[in-house]
Structure 1
Amino acid sequence: MDNERLLRDLGLTKYESSAYSTLIKEGVTGAQELSRISGIPVGKIYEVLSNLNNMGLVEFQRSRPRKYRAIKPEVALDNLYTRKEENTKSELESFKLKISELKDSFSDSNYPDHTEIKFWSTLIGEEDIVKSIKNTLDETENETLHVKSMKVKEVMESKSKRHKDFNPDILLPLVTDEFIRAAKSGISIKMLLPADFFVNHLKEKYNQIPDTDIKKMIKENLEVRILECDYDFVVIDDNVVYIPIPDPLNPDGLLGEMKMIDKEYAEKLRRKYEELWARGKRTVLE
C-alpha cells in the first residue's frame, strides 16, 4: 500500500509525505541529507520539516547541524488526528457563528407580501415524500394546518391504487417521525385526515417515548381529527400554501404540487380549515 498517498489523503503535501516516509526508513537524518535522499529541493526542506514538527510528526535535536527524527507512526498519527479534530471544532464554531450572524441579519429583512407561485414536479417515492414533508415542517415558524382528501384514504386502503414507488407501511412510520420531531420543537400541528391510518402509527410512536415532558409537549402541539372530505391543502403560518396538482393523464396520481406565498389566499384557506376542523372527530394519543 502506498503510504505516501495515504498521508496525502490525510492532508499532508507531497513533500511532507515524502519527508516523513523517508525519515521513517532512514532514522535520524540531517536536512541536507534528507533533501538528497527524498528529492525534496533544499529550498523547501526546512519549511517542510517545520510543518511536520508543528503537526507532531517529526522532532529534532538541537545540534549543529540540526538532526531530525520521525515520531513513531502510532503516536504521530494520533497527533495528526488530534490536531485535525481541534481545527475542525474551531472551523465549526466559526461556521456556527457566521450562521447565527446571517440569521440575525436576514431576520431584519421584511418577508415579501407579494404573491409568489412555485411549482414542484411529482413526488413519487417514500424518500421524496418524507423530504417534502420535512421541508414543509422546517419552513414552519409557528403553526401548520394539514387536510387530506378521501383520495388519500382510497390509495391507502386499496392495493390496486397504490403507487408502485411507495408503500404506506414503510411511508407512514417515516412521516410520523417527522411530525413528532416538529411537535417536540414547539411547532403547532393540526391534521385533518379521512381515516385513522396515521393515528395508529402516531399512538405507537408516542407510547414508546419514555420522557413524560416530551410526551406532554407532543400532546399539546400535535392534534389529529378524522373527517371525510374532498379538500387537500396545507397552510403554513399566515402566508404559505401548498396545493397538490392532479395528473390529467392519471386521475389517481399527482402531477406535482404548487407552493403559494399569498397572505390573502392563505387566510381564506385558514377560514375554510377552521370550518372543517369543527366538524372533525377528535382522536386521543393515550
Structure 2
Amino acid sequence: MATLRDLGLSEYEARSYRALLRLGPATAKELSRASDVPMGRVYDVLNSLEQWGLVRSQASSRPKKYIGVEPETGLERLLDDRKSELERKAQQYESIVSELSTELDAHRPADEQFWTAAVGADESADLLVERLAAADQRLIMVIGTPSPQFDIGRVSQRVVDRLDEALARGVEVSLLLSPGLVDSIPETVWDDYHGRLVTNDAFEARVDDAITGSFHLIDDVEVCLEVPNPLDPTQAFAMIALTDPGFTSNLRETFDRQWVDAEPLSL
C-alpha cells in the first residue's frame, strides 16, 4: 500500500502531516499528542514539513499554530520534489557515465578468436545494437531479407540510434540493403534516417538486389551474423558475434565486391 514515506517523508513527518489534516489548526503540543511524535522532536518535524510546503504556520498566535495544506496541493508538491530529485540523479549518473567512458578502455586483440551468441528475437537485437555501439573506426552493415521474427520498425529505430551515435564518434558507416528490406521499413524510421544520418559525410547507403543474407562488420575485426532457424529458414534463430581475423577479412572482400555493383539508396 502506498504511503507518504514513498514520496520522501520520514515516519514522524508522515504521522504529523496526517494528524494536522485531521486536527485542523493545532499547536505543537496538540500535534505531539495526536501524532505520538515526541515533544522533543515535533518542532524539527514541523520545520521540515514547512520546507516541504506541507504546513503553514500562524506566527502571530501564542502559542504558535500550524495547519496542514490540502492533500491535493501537498501531494503535488511532494511529487514535484521527487521528479526534481530524479532529474538531478539522472544528470549525476550521466556525468559519471561520461567520465567513465573516457577512463575505461576495452582492449580487443585483433588476432584472437572469440564468439558469443544470443538466441531469440529480443536477445539477438540486444546483442546487435551492443556490438554496433562498440565500433571505433568503421561499421559495415549488409542486410538482406528481413526476418519476420524481428519487429522491423523497433529494431530499425534502435539501429538508427546506434549509427547516429557512431557517426558522432567519428565512425565511418556503410549500409548495404536489399530492396525488400527498404520496402519493409516504416516511414517514420526513414524520416529519422534522413534527419540524422544522410547529412553526415561519413555515412553512405546503397541497395543491391543480389543480397540475401545479413552480416555486420565492426572495425574489420568482429562480425555479427544472423543464424536462420534450421526448421524454417525464413525465421531468424540467433545472432552470433564472432572475432576471427581470417573470416572477417573474407567478409570484407565480399562486401567490397557487392558495394561496387550496388546503387545509391534514394527514397
Q: For each residue in 1:77-104, what CA deviation from the matched residue of structure 2 results, as whole angstroms up to 9, or x when unmatched?
A: 3332333333333222222221221112
Asked if residue 8 in structure 1 is aligned to residue 12 in structure 2, the reply is: no
Task: Write the distance in 1 (CA, Å) between the matches of 2:85 and 2:133.
Answer: 30
Specify the alignment match of 1:177 in structure 2: 157
User: Residue 199 of structure 2 aligns to a residue in which SS?
Assistant: helix
> Are 2:207 and 1:225 equivalent residues in the alignment?
yes
For 1:25 and 1:77, locate their aligned partners in 2 and report how far apart those are by CA, in whole Å: 16
Partner-residue secondary structure (3-state), 2:242: strand
Provide the aligned C-alpha RMSD in A: 3.6
Which consecutive aligned stretches of 4+ in structure 1 deviate over 6 angstroms post-superposition? none
List aligned pairs for 1:122-133, cutoff 5 A. Answer: 122-124=119-121, 127-133=122-128
**Aligned 8 A contact 1:123 1:129 in 2:** yes
Q: In the alignment, what sits opposite 1:57? A: 54
Q: Tell me how far 1:57 sits from its aligned partner.
A: 0.8
What pairs up with 1:2-151 in 2 under 5 angstroms? 5-62=2-59, 65-106=63-104, 109=105, 111-113=107-109, 115=112, 117-124=114-121, 127-148=122-143
- Aligned residue for 1:86, secondary structure, equals helix
Q: Is the 8 A contact 1:122 1:254 kept in 2?
A: no
Whole-angstrom distance in 2 between the partners of 1:30 and 1:214: 62
Q: Within 2, Cα distance between the matches of 1:6 and 1:32?
A: 25
The whole-number CA distance in structure 2 between the counterparts of 1:179 and 1:110 is 22
For the structure 1 residues 100 and 230, does the alpha-carbon distance in structure 2 shift closer, same or farther, using more than 3 Å as the test?
closer
Say if 1:272 and 1:250 are closer, same or farther in 2 by CA, change over 3 A: same
Report % sequence identity: 22
Q: Which of 259, 262, 266 in structure 2 is aligned with 1:277? A: 259
User: For residues 246 and 213 of structure 1, what CA distance do their matches in structure 2 show?
Assistant: 33
SS class of match (2:46) = helix
How many residues end up aligned between the 2 structures?
A: 260
Alignment-derived partner of residue 218 in structure 2 = 236
Instruction: Pick closer, same or farther for the CA change 1:219–1:285 going to 2, 3 Å.
Output: farther
Question: Matches of 2:3 and 2:68 in 1, distance apart?
Answer: 17
Report the Cα distance in structure 2 between the residues aligned to 1:70 and 1:224, rounded to whole angstroms: 66
Equivalent of 1:190 in 168, 174, 198:
174
Q: CA deviation at 1:264?
A: 6.0
- Determine helix, strand or coil for the equivalent of 1:217: coil
Residue 205 of structure 1, CA deviation: 4.9
Cα distance in structure 2, aligned partners of 1:52 and 1:205? 48
Are the aligned partners of 2:128 and 2:224 in contact in 1 as well (CA < 8 Å)?
A: no
Q: Is there any run of 5+ residues in structure 2 with no aligned partner, and where?
A: none
Give unmatched runs, 5+ long, in structure 1.
Answer: 157-161
Report how far residue 129 of structure 1 moved: 4.8
- Distance of 1:221 and 1:55 partners within structure 2: 51
Offset, 1:197: 0.7
How far residue 276 of structure 1 moved from its aligned partner, in angstroms, is 3.3
Q: 1:254 to 1:119 in 2, by over 3 A?
A: farther
What's the TM-score, normalizing by structure 1? 0.71
Taking the aligned partners of 1:61 and 1:176, their CA distance within structure 2 comes to 61
Q: More helix by proportion, 1 or 2?
A: 1
